[in-house]
Copies of this chain bind each other. A is one copy, B any other.
């Protein structure tokens, strides 16, 4: 229980904590970052080394006195741990449930960050394939192979319950995985992950409850603590946000083709888009302009290069959720 166990504040709490708890508790505040980028291999997430059971973890650290703002604290920790400076940063969610009775409470404030380029430019940092942690979220080449098995596993879990619970579970499964009639809603990433967790189909569930995982389907590479839940929250938020805010450009280089843009939109949302429509949408919004140059890297007809016009957007960073 020593230094090796990274976020084990909970276990280290001394008795004084509980004794005086009625006064308002001893609370540790942690900052976590889901840093997303994109390279030739696809969407990536930045991971730091961790101790806990060897599972990789998000970059994170405690809130410190020098941090003028929470956001500054996140930037500082990520850069210290991975060398990666952050561009766009936005608060995601604050997690603070009491983990186990008798353990010390820990509040974790999770952030989403987007950076340009990943392994290409900064191979030192620990970039991982985003979809390695959520294989069932990638529908770019049609329904993932694991999805049928996954549904069966979930079905079994629903069957195990009493009729009341069972109906509720079936409804939630249908809503999250788009079963009857409804179609796949790519934004419900967290809903899906939570179902899998409750159903005991992800490794974290087995770890936290000390029982074996009975999943036959591939439910992805686990992360330390509740970091995969944070990642799910981040992906869901990002998938929703790219539809109404120009966040995509935070991932793009200075110059790009419309198809580059589309590839990234598809990679993040996990679904294929109709090319002419995507192009029309982008051009109609007035957020980009031609640079006048062409890209000959296409393999076919050269594509016009565009640049983002940040003047258009004057969103204030941070809490504009």
State the A residues within 8 Å of B (CB). Answer: 3, 5-30, 48-51, 57, 59-70, 77, 80-81, 91, 93-94, 96-98, 104-107, 109, 168, 171-172, 175, 190-191, 194, 233, 236-237, 314, 316, 319-321
**In the bound complex, how far is the Cα of B15 from the Cα of A172, in angstroms?**
44
Nearest-CB residue, chain B, relative to A58: B7
Contact A316 B7 (CB under 8 A): no
A168 to B316, alpha carbons, bound, how many Å?
A: 11
A228 to chain B, nearest CB (A): 14
Residue in contact with A107 in the complex, picked from B26, B63, B237, CB distance below 8 Å: B63
Report the bound CA distance from A7 to B27 in whole Å. 16
Nearest CB to that of A169 among chain B residues? B314
7 contacts between A and B (CB under 8 A): A6-B6, A6-B80, A12-B13, A19-B27, A21-B63, A24-B62, A63-B107
Question: Which residue, A13, A106, A194, has most C-beta atoms of chain B within 10 A?
Answer: A13
Per the bound structure, the CA–CA distance linking A5 and B94 in Å amounts to 23
* Pairwise interchain contact B19-A26, C-beta atoms closer than 8 A: yes
Contact check, B15 vs A14: say whether CB atoms are below 8 A apart. no
Closest B residue to A5 using CB positions: B3
Given contacts A5-B10, A13-B14, A17-B23, 12 further A-B contacts (CB under 8 A): A6-B8, A6-B10, A6-B48, A6-B61, A7-B7, A7-B9, A9-B62, A13-B26, A24-B61, A69-B97, A91-B94, A175-B314
Is the pair A17, B13 in contact by a Cβ cutoff of 8 Å?
Answer: yes
Determine if B9 and A3 form an interchain contact, defined as CB atoms under 8 angstroms apart.
Answer: no
CA distance A231 to B306 in the complex (A): 40
Name the residue on B nearest A101 (C-beta).
Answer: B68
* Pairwise interchain contact B91-A93, C-beta atoms closer than 8 A: yes
Q: Given the complex of chains A and B, what is the CA–CA distance between A70 and B25 in angstroms?
A: 12
Instruction: Report the bound CA distance from A198 to B236 in whole Å.
Output: 33
CB nearest neighbor in B for A16: B20
* Distance of A224 from chain B, by nearest CB (Å): 8
Chain B neighbourhood of A57, CB < 8 A:
7
**CB within 8 A of A66: which of B23, B96, B171?**
B23
Q: Considering only CB atoms, which chain B residue lies closest to A69 in the complex?
A: B97
User: Known contacts A91-B93, A107-B107, A316-B191: does B9 contact A6 (CB below 8 Å)?
Assistant: yes
Asked whether A64 lies within 8 Å of B8 as measured between CB atoms, the reply is no
**Residue in B19, B64, B68 whose CB lies within 8 Å of A28:** B19
Task: Check if A63 sits within 8 Å of B7, measured CB to CB.
Answer: no
